[in-house]
Amino acid sequence: MGFVSQAPFIFTGTIEENLLYSCLAKTDDIMPSLDDIIGVLQQTGVFVDVLGFGLNTVLVHDRDTNLVSNIIRVRQNFQRDFGEALADYVEFFDENKYLYHSSIAENLIFGTPNHPSFTGDDLIQNEYFRKFLNKAELFRPLMSLGADLFKQTVDILGDLPPEAVFFEQSPIAHDELEEHKELVNRLKKKKLHQLSTKDQDRLLDIALRFNPDKHKMIALPQILETLILEGRYLFREKISSDDPNAITFYQMSHYIYSQTILNNIFFGKTTTTNPMAQEKINQSIVHLLIEEDLLETIIEIGLKFHVGSKGDRLSGGQRQKLAIARVFLKAPTILIMDEATSALDNKSQARIQNLIETRLKGKNTLISVVHRLDIIKNFDKIAVMKAGKIGEIGTYDELIEKKGMLYELEFGKK
């Protein structure tokens, strides 16, 4: 017997442990193969979720060396085979090109910081980074850019309500405006070198946040873009010598262990929020994983995803799909489903219903508690309950012809 409730119980553990739970409870020693598991994941619609868990896994440093080399090959093939087709959706990391969908700080560092001092607000206070900006002759140009950003923001947005929507094209947040209006007044009276260290830090911070694609209030000066690209090489050369472990730089032949498998394959940034574009990107990656015979490996990694306490790391829909996959993997003779698809979208519900009608019909006994009348037509018997009692029972056609309780539910009272 198998049972799936409206709020199925998910055990603390991995997805794989939850899937195999009922099979392990059986008396025989025959366990489902990986192909069996993948088949059920696809049938119940949880395959994409498990694939996502696998792709969003961060690998342990210096382990899975064969997998790492394969992922780097997939990355290279991804850009080679799909780079042109996805050019409107993706900005790939290229050490010789400026990233217009990234901040100035990200363009300079061009990698993943391994020390907190090279991230966020800490970057401004990082004495090593400040000295580098001076050495690269970037300190003053960046302050000048910051001053322009402040002036433009205050000039354009200064009289508008302090709401986030108005500040989407400025690196200055809406709750920072009032404080920074005073700085703009000081800029009218003082030169950059006359400002206090605190004011200079504010200008530098805003400049380092500047993202040319997102913050369209001003354009990135060509001369500054050139200086930043030159600074990128200087920064890598200098810190690789002084502190080799501080940054993991973006290099086509290097795996980034602090990033997910997906980010290592993608090796760039999306330039759009269009869901169709994201779907096209995902399909391209899956295509390459199949081509490189890596799809099953990623699924196996995804099956190790820990679902949390009673599945609290999963959505309601994911928990229901996992419970349905678990019971289908067990293949019980009798299956009871109590509002088992209530948390699923219409497309997922239709998939499960079609699977039930094609896989179980004539082979298993299914008892299903439902409130949606559009899924009951093909059941052998329908019992309509009211106040805890069965009011009528029969086939769909018989009950509709009878014009009783089901008829009223389906078509309303006449």
Instruction: Give residue limits of the domains in the chain.
Output: 2-52+305-380, 58-93+253-303, 104-249
Task: For 215-253, write each residue's pLDDT tens digit.
Answer: 888 899 999 999 999 999 999 999 999 999 999 999 999
Q: What is the pLDDT of residue 165?
A: 79
Q: Please tell me which residue, 162 or 159, carries the higher pLDDT value.
A: 159
Q: Please tell me which residue, 340 or 38, carries the higher pLDDT value.
A: 38
- Whether residue 414 is predicted with pLDDT greater than 60 in this model: the reply is no
- Whether residue 413 is predicted with pLDDT greater than 60 in this model: the reply is no
pTM of the model: 0.81
Task: For 111-123, write each residue's pLDDT tens digit.
Answer: 999 888 998 778 9
User: Which residues share a beta bridge with 338?
Assistant: 369
Task: For 378-397, write each residue's pLDDT tens digit.
Answer: 889 999 998 889 999 999 99
Q: What is the pLDDT of residue 377?
A: 86
Dihedral sign of CA atoms 166, 172, 173, 178 in order = negative
Pick the CATH number of 2-52+305-380 from 3.40.50.720, 3.90.850.10, 3.40.50.300, 3.40.309.10: 3.40.50.300
Q: What is the pLDDT of residue 155?
A: 86
Task: For 48-92, write each residue's pLDDT tens digit.
Answer: 999 999 999 999 987 888 999 999 999 999 999 998 888 888 999
Q: What is the pLDDT of residue 321?
A: 92
Q: How far is CA 72 from the centre of its chain?
A: 20
pLDDT band, very low/low/confident/very high, at 322 (cuts 50, 70, 90): very high
What are the strands of the beta sheet with 365-369, ordered from one edge? 2-4, 334-338, 365-369
Least confident of 13-27, 171-185, 311-325: 171-185
- Whether residue 42 is predicted with pLDDT greater than 70 in this model: the reply is yes
Pairing type for strands 247-249 and 111-113 reads antiparallel
Q: At what angle do helices 139-157 and 197-209 cross, to 10 degrees?
A: 80
State the CB neighbour count (10 A cutoff) for residue 304.
14
Q: What is the pLDDT of residue 28?
A: 63
Nearest to 87 by CA among 75, 98, 78: 78
- Whether residue 299 is predicted with pLDDT greater than 80 in this model: the reply is yes
Least confident of 22-26, 35-39, 271-275, 307-311: 22-26
- Whether residue 29 is predicted with pLDDT greater than 70 in this model: the reply is no
Across the chain, mean pLDDT equals 89
C-alpha to C-alpha distance for 48 and 8, rounded to whole angstroms: 20
Q: What is the pLDDT of residue 115?
A: 87
